[in-house]
A and B are shown apart, each in its own frame.
Chain A
Amino acid sequence: MSEERYKGYFLGEVGQINPIDKLFAHRFESNFMRQVLGPIEGEKISYYETLFRSFLQYATDRQLKMDWMLGLHFIKWTEDFNKAGLLEQRMEDVLLRAAYFWMNATNIDLDYNHLLVTLNLGEIHTVFLASKSQHPTKLPTLKRVHLKTISVPTGIGYVRLINLSLTDCEWAML
């Protein structure tokens, strides 16, 4: 494996001559697109590939980490570049997938047990609470919640919690 190969992993394009770059692109898309956007079938795939590649370039330029927050970055990108109207996916669904990814990848943010992700844009006010599994036989949980005691800033944000106490929350905004 060369450095060019690793670079190709992020920037590979469908139809490239080098088949291994195509393989990387294939595998990255099948993971990334499903993680962020959910299953996409049939003819729509090529349309979303175009959107995806544009976003991938944005993520590459800004050195965004390919972790659970990528879905949140995707929402911000669609909003900032007026692409939200082009998407058939609801922003809430993308938010939900980001929270789902976090709560199932328990090696991420190992010391935190809960994650609140918020979307507060115009008419949309959504908060999801993702809680990691607390026992080897118990599944993690994901809920839509209403926050009564604290206000959520405008935009897309998240807060990680060790214990579920909403007092003194400091919201991280994207």
Chain B
Amino acid sequence: MLIGVNWTSPHNYKVIKDLAGEGDVDFCEILIDNFLHYDPCDIKKSLPTRDCSFHIMNSHFLEKDREGLHALSDRIKKCIDVLDPLYVSDHIGKFYHNGRKFPFMQEVSYKDVVGFFEEKAQFWSDLLGCKVYYENFPSFEKQNPSQLSFFDNILASMGSKANVLFDISNAIVNQLNTGEQASEWYKIFKNTKHFHVGGYQKAGDTKYFLDSHDRDISSETLDFIKKYIVPLDTKETTLVIERDYNIEFNSWLRDIRCIRGLFRKT
């Protein structure tokens, strides 16, 4: 298992460099949106780890026109050519409602996108020149078709162009919010090599959980990793341990070592 951390901007450069210095981090996952205005060679020279992967947050590939996607992919492609990432990942998200931008990404209505997803994703993959790994969403409510069956169908039809970036804690948040069992994703994630994990919390006085990425990994998530992910481990398998808020060296390192320990025991 290659263990990674998410490099989101110069703001968390130092803590990632320090974590890498401890010898427990194999690669960093670059939130490439925040790096596209840099010279790719500068990014390569500044890498705090030996290897890297790319995570795209704001491609809007389901909503943006072809011209816009061409312009964005040109920039990402230059970075791919120079940095040779382990994988490129993206989100199946909704960013606009009636022309108004949400403050941050929302989950799509799967029944609404199922008719055109494959064409859009195929185009996006062709522009980037690689397979794209799509992250599963920490849903708030059940849908019909479910997110799981949506992924099942698109991955069956898009084989070489798409796969899942399986976010373990997102699946657990989804389970807590909707009752859909995270373990049911096994038939999907047994065929991928790329995983995410992060902290989550209850949203105020609501009954919902949010993928807050601001705290330690839950014991429920660790148990899931032990039971389902450890047996799938190969030399190419990756797992990014995400922190976006309350970024603190010691607690992040504790999570990294705890999860690395699960894989060493096998």
Contacts and interface: CB of A to CB of B under 8 A. Distances in A.
Interface string B6-36: 0001110100000000000000000001111
B36 A28 contact: no
A19 B97 contact: no
Interface string A133-150: 111111110000000000
Given A10-B100, A137-B13, A22 B109 contact: no
Contacts of B11: 104, 139
Given A23-B203, A23-B208, A1 B37 contact: no
A106 B34 contact: yes
B37 A139 contact: no
A74 to B, nearest CB: 14
Contacts of A20: 140-141, 208
Binding site of B, secondary structure by majority: helix, strand, loop or mixed? mixed
Interface residues of A, number: 38
A19 B42 contact: no
A7 B97 CA distance: 8
Interface in A89-115: 104, 106-107, 110-111, 113
A136 B35 contact: yes
Interface in B137-180: 140-141, 143
A5 B139 CA distance: 13
Interface string A56-72: 00000001111100000
Contact of B37 (A2, A66, A106): A106
Nearest to B208: A23
B103 interface: yes
Nearest to A109: B37
A32 B208 contact: no
Q: Which 3 A-B pairs have the closest CB atoms?
A: A107-B33, A6-B97, A136-B46
25 contacts: A1-B107, A1-B141, A1-B143, A6-B94, A6-B97, A6-B106, A9-B102, A10-B97, A19-B208, A23-B204, A23-B208, A27-B210, A65-B101, A106-B36, A106-B37, A107-B33, A110-B36, A133-B38, A135-B10, A136-B35, A136-B38, A136-B43, A137-B10, A137-B46, A140-B10
Given A20-B140, A63-B99, A133-B10, 13 more contacts: A1-B141, A9-B106, A19-B206, A19-B208, A27-B203, A107-B33, A107-B58, A110-B37, A134-B38, A135-B42, A136-B43, A137-B46, A140-B10
Interface of B: 9-11, 13, 33-38, 42-43, 46, 57-58, 75, 94, 97, 99-104, 106-109, 140-141, 143, 203-204, 206-208, 210
